[in-house]
Amino acid sequence: MKLVDLRSDTVTKPTTAMRRAMAEAEVGDDVYGEDPTVNRLQERAAELFGKEAALFVPSGTMGNQICVKLHTRPGTEIILEERSHIFNYEMGAAAAFSGVTCRPVRGEDGLLNWNLIAPAIHHSAPYYVTPTSLVALENSHNMAGGAVLPLSVINDICQHAHALGLPTHLDGARIFNAALALNTTVAEIARPFDSVMFCLSKGLGAPVGSMIVGTKDFIKEAVSVRKMLGGGMRQVGVLATAGMLALEESPKLLAEDHANAKRLATGLAELPGVKIDPERVQTNIAIFDIAATGISTAQMAAELKTRGVLANGINAREMRMVTHYDVSREEIKQTIKITKEILGR
């Protein structure tokens, strides 16, 4: 039985075209800057994002942490959203590797704006107050149900931060989903940020890899920090070639993922005790509250699994389902039916 895997968009398998390209990739030693496929991917990413340069890194976490390291100095703090990936799911790397603390700010439905951020910033504060060194946003916001920060809000936050001399970083793991939801380009979202990290290995389907984009000087330093973290790779064109297909081809498929997430949310919203507002499902992530059903999230995940659907509880109340190109419209229907059956027992 084929499992319907809605745990994450990271579970996507490389396409046939990616596997073929990997077998035939032209490669060289990328630590010497001699892998032509990696170089092409980096040039193309920089072009697409409207930045001077780009760097291929093994993971989103490494990409984010390289940027944190370069923007900050030890003994300072980063402002981020309470449910953000950098704060919650990167093993305290900002503290362990860059010596910075995180100041989480709760967004409205996960979305920050300057009014929420401003009071948390320590700028020109007395010398004994931990100074802010970076503002980091996440778009789309994974744990806020794939919520999307509008361009006007992004621009406003970055403008205010820059006016205070603070750099801005975007965790754009799913920036292509955000761009689709906002009906804009990734370059337009990336424009006000000093650095952006985005993932090739999530909804875009590459087996491995993320990228960071920024100025030439920033990326030059990022190469050294990547090496420090053990992220200097050799004939990595075999991965970059899949990344290139992810970059060029996969964004076209995301509309179907968004439509499927919306269908899923609409179906789930009709089930007794399930709380989700389909209007708020803007991208490929549906987070729904099942506390009122009397079934725990662990139980729900287990019951779904016995019926061939994989999904995770993210806390005691909420389940998360993520759509991607390996899940069809029919399987979404099936998932709603199965969830209904579990709740109807």
Ligand X SMILES: Cc1ncc(COP(=O)(O)O)c(C=O)c1O
Q: Where does this chain bind ligand X (CB under 6 A)?
A: 10, 59-61, 64, 85, 138, 142, 171, 173, 199, 201, 210
Taking the complex as a whole, the smallest distance from the CB of residue 140 to ligand X amounts, in Å, to: 8
Taking the least distance from each CB to ligand X, the nearer of 64 and 260 is 64
Nearest residue (beta carbon) to ligand X: 60
Strand partners, 319: 288, 313
Taking the least distance from each CB to ligand X, the nearer of 281 and 343 is 281
Please answer whether residues 156 and 292 qualify as being in contact, where contact means their C-beta atoms are separated by less than 8 angstroms: no
Taking the least distance from each CB to ligand X, the nearer of 58 and 167 is 58
Taking the complex as a whole, the smallest distance from the CB of residue 64 to ligand X amounts, in Å, to: 6
Strand partners, 168: 135
Taking the complex as a whole, the smallest distance from the CB of residue 294 to ligand X amounts, in Å, to: 30
Taking the least distance from each CB to ligand X, the nearer of 10 and 334 is 10
d(CA 226, CA 228): 5
For the packed helices 36-49 and 237-248, what is the interaxial angle rounded to 10 degrees?
Answer: 30
Taking the complex as a whole, the smallest distance from the CB of residue 345 to ligand X amounts, in Å, to: 32
d(CA 155, CA 190): 10
Query: From the CB of residue 293, how many other CB atoms can be counted at a distance below 10 Å?
Result: 18
Taking the least distance from each CB to ligand X, the nearer of 60 and 237 is 60
Taking the complex as a whole, the smallest distance from the CB of residue 1 to ligand X amounts, in Å, to: 26
Residue in this structure with the two tokens 């920090």, named with its chain if needed: 225
Taking the least distance from each CB to ligand X, the nearer of 91 and 255 is 91
Q: Which long-range contacts (CB under 8 A, 24 or more apart) does 73-76 make?
A: 73/99, 73/100, 73/133, 74/98, 74/99, 74/100, 75/99, 75/100, 75/130, 76/100, 76/101, 76/130, 76/131, 76/132, 76/133, 76/134
Taking the complex as a whole, the smallest distance from the CB of residue 210 to ligand X amounts, in Å, to: 5
